[in-house]
Chains A and B, each alone.
Chain A
Amino acid sequence: DSGVTQTPKHLITATGQRVTLRCSPRSGDLSVYWYQQSLDQGLQFLIQYYNGEERAKGNILERFSAQQFPDLHSELNLSSLELGDSALYFCASSVGARGSGNTIYFGEGSWLTVV
């Protein structure tokens, strides 16, 4: 158990809908990262927040948004869902802003299916 908690574990929704994925980082970690894993694209970095502020952005679609709250939990909002958004969404956390790899811990993921 990495200590990173994600909910829900599984989610099935229809095209055009909006969903929110939630992440609680490990105790003491200030950075939260969101990654998307699909069969064709592999594991892709979406966005990073550090202590409530956006720190780095990857190939995140405009239909997607995220935020980190004062209690450090984070939410990833996915709207106007398309079939291609079906994927496993991972949250990860680290103590510092830079991560440097050795301190980035992943949650178990939220499996999103868009039908």
Chain B
Amino acid sequence: QKEVEQDPGPLSVPEGAIVSLNCTYSNSAFQYFMWYRQYSRKGPELLMYTYSSGNKEDGRFTAQVDKSSKYISLFIRDSQPSDSATYLCAMSNQGGKLIFGQGTELSVKP
């Protein structure tokens, strides 16, 4: 079993929809939780960062962490075609070594 599980999709939604992306993990030592966005063959770009449990909002993006359930989510409101990309969850304990999920491919149709 992988330390971080993420549904690879692909996920296709109409423009304006609310998108929900999720990851589960098995290592209770993880304290830092990130969401990266990756366009095709480009470097991952940090979208959201959360320490421990709780919610964080940044514009149309909301990240949630539930450490008791070992479950993290990313919500995208009013999705746009420009949001079409692969979304990767990543986690770490205190070190710089990030453990990534497989990534979910999202397509937002106009």
Contact = CB atoms under 8 A, between A and B. Distances in A.
A94 B41 contact: no
A108 B88 contact: no
B102 interface: yes
B44 A31 contact: no
A4 B43 contact: yes
B43 A48 contact: no
A102 B46 contact: yes
B90 interface: yes
Interface in A86-108: 88, 90, 94, 96-102, 104-108
**Highest count of chain B CB atoms <10 Å: which of A33, A43, A111:** A43
Interface string B76-100: 0000000000001011101111111
A109 interface: yes
B34 A56 contact: no
Given A42-B101, A43-B88, A105-B46, A98 B41 contact: no
B11 to A, nearest CB: 17
**Highest count of chain A CB atoms <10 Å: which of B34, B46, B101, B103:** B46
Interface string A39-78: 0001111001000000110100000000000000000000
A48 B49 CA distance: 20
